[in-house]
Amino acid sequence: MTQQTLAARSAAAAITAICGFGAPTAYAEEPVIGDDNTVVITASRFKEESVRLPTNITIISKEDIERSNATQIAQLLKRVAGIQVSSVSGKTTVSMRGISAEQASNNVLIQVDGRRLNYTDIAAPDLESVLVADIERIEIIQGAASTLYGDQAVAGVINIITHSGKNKESSANLVGGSYGTVQGSLNLNHALSQDWSFLLSANYLETDNYRDHNEREQSQLGLKFHYLTETSDWLFELNTNNEDLNTPGALLESDLDKSTQSRPEFANDYVDTQQGVLRVFGQETIDDNWQYAIDVNYLDSDIESINSFVGFPTTTVNTTDRKQWSVYPRIKGQWQADSGSIDWINGLDYDHAEYAFSLLGRGNEQVVKSVYSQLFVPVSQHTDLELAARYARVEDDLVDFMVYPTGIKLKNSATAYDLGASHQFDKRSKGYVRFSKNYRFAKVDEQSYTADGVVGLEPQTGDSLEVGYEQTLGHGFLKLSVYQLELDDEIFFDPAVTPPPGAFFPGANVNGGRSERLGFIADYQADISSKLTSGINYHYVDAEIKQGEPSSQGSTIPGVSEHTINGWFDWQIDKVANWYLEVNYRGSRYQEGDVANALPKIESHVILSSAINWRWQQLTLGIRVDNLLDKEYIDYAQFGGYYPANGRNGYAKLSYRF
């Protein structure tokens, strides 16, 4: 493949992805099934016992995060069963359920305290904007969640919960390590009165990263005011994130003998981001039967960048401006019956986004309105049914100087529903089955660059079926699940179709027929002794394009590894020290965008990482080394453009709690 072809085929996805960028992790010990203290917010948007939810849920607790000595969310998620993590120039993409990394930002919903990190364009959610030191826990629901969360929640939801202020502990952290990395952070909690508290967080980071011309400087500041009584829970939040990042670009196969280099055409490339977030959250108990909650979120993101391609250097400065605000009111009723609790949740979601990208003269004003309802009914003391439905409408007011220079208005709608059941066989085991109808709307980049003669893309729709079993053992737990995810009119970039008139590269975004993913997840954790805990998980997925263009029909979905295995153990050496060792295997896969399976595969790899922590009263010293054996491998590749993964790297972290 020539350099020109590589650049052309990569351009549609790369322009916005670049400019937007758009563990132990010993996970929380599995509780006894039915433990009333086990709650998750992700799966109901209100606190709900996880035993009632007919789906696969993983919770990464605060203790897990601290014991892992992690400083990046990618380190925490990499070991979760069913998740595949990729990195491009120091930015992380998380995929689930056989969704490729290229499509993950469109099909996996990531939230921080209920606020969407996903954008209305195809840029990946900026996980690096979330400071690990601020995280209280991470809740991961696998499988379609369109009924509760609407657009983009096709393969699952990752909800990152940060400290709210009710945690009275303060902390200071200092990190130093490979690639000239220096990081300092502060979380200061203070009670203003019996009901009011505030939390101030600050972070500063400098690093050169693994590759040349990949320096990063980031500063963050956050302020939260928290009001908490027996019947009220209100949070007022403001945070800013400023980041300057040099982007090294892709390498050709001939460049991989020196994986740290950056090609000369990327010498001027960078992405500078300034972002501000405002959030108000409130939850009130009305009486014994009713409570309501409301989320109001506002994001203002301004990005300046230079984006070159292999063989095509440029010095043109581009700007990307995003403004997103949302209002999510909801109400929950709860009534006690002889067989258990009847829970009924109803809500409205309103999302408004404005987007402008200077390079392509592209702009969009998008409004999404949704209404949803979820009902839990106890059929017996051991069996619960879940019934849920959502209706959503989207309106796009779109301008693109090449395809829609005078503008166009596009309207569409979609529905989703869930039918699920969970059954407790005894106090330590349960089974569940769940069928879900899911959807996602086309993003602005996709709507503005469609095949010749196509005006607007239809919503992508799909069916998801999952059957699972969970067993709490005397020495650990076992989780098993099988799933099928079928997508119709799947939206993706196809390099083989005829582009719109005036296009300067081949291919276009399409509704691509039908695809299917059949998967199996096994997750096992064992307490070998009072001081040694270990675990292993396995994910198998057969992802195939069932119906589409003749060149791609029957092909394996690119970017998806058929096999993923993670293993780990955590040894509490003595009262003050623990040692953690983790191994990650990711199988081979086709390059992103290679729907015809015509390009060489990305080879499989095995990575070993380790951490050790010492704790003395309020002080903790941790050392972590990732890629312990200095394995050379490719983390992401698209159309013959390669992004090498980090070599062996490590750091020391000193933490003080007060």
> Residues 636, 88: contact at Cβ < 8 Å?
yes
pLDDT score of 23: 32
Exposed, middle or buried: residue 364 (CB in 10 Å: 0-12, 13-18, 19+)? buried
pLDDT score of 147: 94
* Rounded distance between C-alpha atoms, residue 93 and residue 86, angstroms: 5
pLDDT score of 595: 87
In the chain, domain spans: 3-657
- Which one, of 85, 208, 183, lies nearest residue 133 by Cα? 183
pLDDT tens per residue across span 254-294: 999 999 999 999 999 999 999 999 999 999 999 999 999 99
- Which one, of 154, 88, 134, 259, lies nearest residue 635 by Cα? 88
* Rounded distance between C-alpha atoms, residue 462 and residue 465, angstroms: 10
Percent of the chain with pLDDT over 90: 73
pLDDT tens per residue across span 417-426: 999 999 999 9
pLDDT tens per residue across span 297-332: 999 999 999 999 898 999 999 999 999 999 999 999
pLDDT score of 9: 41
CATH pick for 3-657 out of 2.40.170.20, 2.40.50.140, 3.40.640.10, 2.60.120.620: 2.40.170.20
* Rounded distance between C-alpha atoms, residue 632 and residue 259, angstroms: 8
Rg (CA), the chain: 24
Q: How many C-alpha atoms does 270 have within 13 Å on its Cβ side? A: 15
pLDDT score of 88: 84
> Residues 572, 539: contact at Cβ < 8 Å?
no
Element (H, E) at 642: strand 641-644
Residue 61 falls in which region: left (phi positive, over 0), alpha (psi -120 to 50) or beta? beta
User: Which range has the worst mean pLDDT, 292-296, 309-313, 390-394, 624-628?
Assistant: 309-313
> Residues 417, 147: contact at Cβ < 8 Å?
yes
Q: Rounded to the nearest 5°, which phi and psi values hold at 165? A: 115, -25
Confidence of residue 50 (pLDDT cuts 50, 70, 90): low
User: Which range has the worst mean pLDDT, 119-128, 160-169, 512-521, 596-605?
Assistant: 160-169
Confidence of residue 38 (pLDDT cuts 50, 70, 90): low
Which whole number is the average pLDDT over 125-150? 91
Which whole number is the average pLDDT over 236-249? 96
* Rounded distance between C-alpha atoms, residue 48 and residue 386, angstroms: 12
pLDDT tens per residue across span 558-577: 999 999 999 999 999 999 99
